[in-house]
Amino acid sequence: MTQTDTDTLPAGAPDLSPIKQTPLRVQIADRLRRAIITGKLRPGAVLVETALAEQMNVSRAPVREAIAILESDGLVETEAYRGKRVKPLTVREVEETWSMRQTFEVMAVRRILDRGVDASALWDPCRAMQAAAAVGDREALILADERFHRTLIALSDHHLLLQSWNALYLRIHQIMALRNRRDSDDLAEIAGNHPPIVRALEAGDTRVAVRLISDHTRALRDFDPAAIVEWLG
């Protein structure tokens, strides 16, 4: 048997490719990012390296590096004399976030329709939202909702738009989570807002699709960014 033969795995053999190990700082950053965008770490919360390191049973160095990652994400900032904290929300930032989301998603809808892109991939997250709503699983519904909008942007086949939307959606997810913690929304109604968008895309109806996505990105009609900021104290 030649060296080449010994290096080649037979058909059906298990995958023995190298295991990818995620650096500890990235794991910590992912955990903290999740806590921020789900509202568990609220805007303005001070991030104390020592306390976080003890809580996660790690040394301070990877925690410091993780916080630096979140600072580059725009989720953390340095406060004079106090150190690092979760970046507070302002009325202006909430309003600008929603207006940019509407701009991005309307652009995506127009590109999908102009290019005749198959929108059927959007049905899977729609079904996932409906299933989550049926059992009252708000977290699963939010994740499926995020997948719907990420798929919508991806279908537009515009790399810079997707990159910009990914950065913006960290804030969108955070605002939605904080809003949902304050208010009690009808999950079935939230899930039901999405299928009409897909049907309009499949019908090639630009006017209806743009109107629906615009209405949806403004969230519910009673959305009040000032009230969210006030509630956060």
Whole-number average pLDDT of the chain: 85
Count of beta carbons in the 10 Å neighbourhood of residue 139: 11
Lowest mean per-residue pLDDT among 35-44, 100-109, 157-166, 173-182 = 173-182
Q: Residues of the chain with pLDDT > 90: what percent?
A: 52
Q: pLDDT, tens digit, for every residue of 176-203?
A: 777 766 555 678 888 999 999 999 999 9
Q: Does domain 91-232 have CATH number 1.20.120.530?
A: yes
> How many residues appear in the chain?
233
Res. 223: pLDDT tops 80:
no
Going by C-alpha positions, the residue among 140, 162, 160 that lies closest to residue 149 is 162
Question: Does residue 122 or residue 215 have the better pLDDT?
Answer: 122
Q: Output the pTM of the full model.
A: 0.75
User: Residue 40: which pLDDT band, with cuts at 50, 70 and 90?
Assistant: confident
Residue 14's pLDDT is 57
Going by C-alpha positions, the residue among 174, 192, 62 that lies closest to residue 127 is 192
Residue-range domain boundaries for the chain: 24-86, 91-232
38-52, 149-163, 212-226: which is most confident = 149-163
Residues 6+ apart with CB under 8 A from 144: 125, 128, 129, 132
Alpha-helical (H) ranges within the chain are 3-7, 24-37, 49-56, 60-73, 91-114, 123-134, 138-155, 159-182, 187-192, 195-203, 206-217, 225-232
Lowest mean per-residue pLDDT among 43-52, 58-67, 101-110, 137-146 = 137-146
CA 19 to chain centre: 27
Measuring CA to CA, how many Å separate 136 from each of 35, 127, 128, 146, 179?
Answer: 21, 14, 12, 17, 17
CATH top class, domain 24-86 = mainly alpha
Q: pLDDT, tens digit, for every residue of 88-104?
A: 888 888 888 888 999 99
Res. 7: pLDDT tops 80:
no
Going by C-alpha positions, the residue among 39, 41, 75 that lies closest to residue 168 is 75
